Chains A and B, each alone.
Chain A
């Protein structure tokens, strides 16, 4: 028995040692490759005539739709034809998990999507390469708010692929029938929502009536009302929670009143997966969503009539969110120069216009936004939001705080939480995360 135990112990030890040893080697190679990368970035800019012939490049992202995958693959194919590289777009099924495991095991993809909300986590972990000087053509052309969204502690990490803003999507016929104009202020929004609501939540769920406005009960929608009231969840640098202001209280109370009166509805209350679905099913006459709703409505509800307007202005003016995704390059990328040349191809004015023209997302560059409006005249309201949009991103670990906000927002809607309680809960949780 004793000998047996020893044998097990030895095997276990040997394996542990092997595992540790293996990882230790990976770690050293990791730092070994990343050091020259940083040096190379600052000294040499990416030459256009760089030899990319036969270089394999993996681009990881998530898949929004088959059409989008095809369009991106086409653009990648053009890059391959132009340069001779072997780049490939590989959509990942469970993106967060896939990327995190690839990173932790020291084998990241060459180029990958980063959501602006996730940037702080990744940048703070030190796994991202900053944008090398001169690697991208005319970076100043990129909307400053979008560059800001991918800047952490003063370092700019990646150029946006495209962006979307929140706007008011409405059914023009319903508005006409109810005799209301497109709302441009909170008062008009409240009046319009009341006039457009034709039944109780149960009737709306059954498809026999419509609500004024369908909106998800979550910070990424409600936050735009805070901006319109001159308030925000945090200060610009995310050093403290700034929710305890009269503006924020007014904004939250305004939203809560609308939901409690039944003029605003949560999509979950009317059997819809999200606000776009509720609007598509004609369960609401208006909704607040981003550019992604356009393709969805055209595909899923081709008969649904809609138009887009800027979000109504609040007491402090206009406000909306900008949601954006960038092309990141890992700090220990095996082929940094080729990766940045690839990113440049995808995000330069021609590349970003070619990509966004096929879709309803907007190019992140001001110089081509007029071209985009030319091909999407009815979506101009989304572009207009770019001027005053606030970024969607905080500091590492802030997902917990957004969770507390959403939790209490749901309580505010069903009447079990007051505005003051929501503010207290979010402030407490937020300061925990900021100080911790």
Chain B
């Protein structure tokens, strides 16, 4: 606002000021009208396919809708669906808590790893001296454009107890996809803690004991996390590459002249300059990982022992397998709230580091 001293200041910020300076506003209202006309096709599409469905989902989440009749014939149940998911002890609450727990560990595992990995790969592939760059770029991007179901089926074969992964690993064969043990439990087991300590078993939240909350992703979920990291790293790498190419080579050269080592250039020059891109990639990653569905559906359909159910999968299951579309809508709204929460949290963290 300080910069916008004249009426010709950046329109993005000065819209309000501009109308003040030109009280009749005829010129600008004409702009508005034209703008509206030009954006109308996209806006109408957004309203019909995004805004109305979101509002309808919100509306349906307050109703007992079985999904077979028109939603307008369903009955109003107030906050019952939310109550069953969040507060009322019972199977619905426990299952929802499980889906949140599973997905939380999934996000915490996948997002940092895919972000770091893709940034490192992008920086390597952005080196001038590297030969066969386009081959590597294609190779790393390829998983992202392959059908997720096809990739998942290949991974199912690889993770079988007689599969390729076990053939390479030096341990006894692990039945990855049918193993419901939590990874944190497994690690604790190595240190001799294979039973829940009393305090962890007695404290309960949303129907799950603290011990169950801290189970970590199950071995099956861990396998899915590896699969997803492998597929999405390519997409994120592409975004980082685009970001890296917008950094002028002179900046890096200047750092080199100042005597920065290659690691210092990466840590103190590239990473700070890439912060907006990192913010974007992490946001994209957060949203994508909280909505994981295809891989869950194809790998194990939520099993073993419900350790791979996620809110997105549970929406599908409740809506189409259990004919509880109202409950499914409530899960969808809660998932939306969770994603918004993490996106804002992320934004907060990043803004404090100087990204706007």
Contact = CB atoms under 8 A, between A and B. Distances in A.
Q: Do A and B come from one complex?
A: yes
B32 interface: yes
Interface string A402-432: 0110110011001000000000000011001
Contacts of A269: 161, 175, 178
A266 interface: yes
B161 A27 contact: no
A127 B173 contact: no
Interface stretch (B6-14, B272-280, B316-324): B316-324
B91 A3 contact: no
A127 B68 contact: yes
Contact of A27 (B66, B73, B317, B320): B73
Contacts of A97: 320
B109 interface: no
Nearest to A117: B321
B173 A202 contact: yes
Contact of B69 (A12, A20, A126, A432): A126
Contacts of B177: 268
Nearest to B84: A436
Chain B CB count within 10 A is highest, among A20, A127, A268, for A268
B168 interface: no
A400 interface: yes
Interface in B168-212: 172-173, 175, 177-178, 180
B23 to A, nearest CB: 14
Given A7-B36, A202-B173, A401-B91, A100 B67 contact: yes
A12 B40 CA distance: 12
Interface string B67-89: 11111110000000000100000
Interface in B1-38: 15-16, 19, 29, 32, 36
A126 B323 CA distance: 13
Interface majority SS on B: helix, strand, loop or mixed? Answer: helix
B320 A100 contact: yes
A414 B175 CA distance: 13
B91 A432 contact: yes
B162 A271 contact: yes
Contacts of B47: 11-12, 15
B175 A396 contact: no
B175 A432 contact: no
B72 A27 contact: yes
B92 A400 contact: yes
Contacts of A436: 84, 90
A433 B172 CA distance: 42
A406 B303 CA distance: 10
Contacts of A27: 70, 72-73
Contact of B51 (A12, A105, A406): A12
Nearest to A121: B323
A26 B36 CA distance: 32
A266 B66 contact: no
A324 to B, nearest CB: 19
Chain A CB count within 10 A is highest, among B19, B29, B51, B68, for B68
Contact of B304 (A4, A15, A268, A432): A268
Contact of A397 (B68, B73, B178, B322): B322
B220 to A, nearest CB: 10
B305 A411 contact: yes
B44 interface: yes
Contact of A205 (B48, B51, B162, B319): B162
Nearest to A408: B305
A177 interface: no
B91 A121 contact: no
B19 A1 contact: yes
B137 interface: no
A156 to B, nearest CB: 19
Nearest to A30: B70
B306 interface: yes
Given A23-B70, A271-B160, A11 B178 contact: no
A205 B173 contact: yes
A404 B51 contact: no
B231 to A, nearest CB: 22
Interface string A5-35: 0011001100110011001101100100000
8 contacts: A100-B320, A121-B322, A125-B67, A268-B178, A269-B175, A271-B163, A410-B304, A432-B91
The 3 closest A-B pairs by CB, nearest first: A121-B323, A125-B68, A429-B91
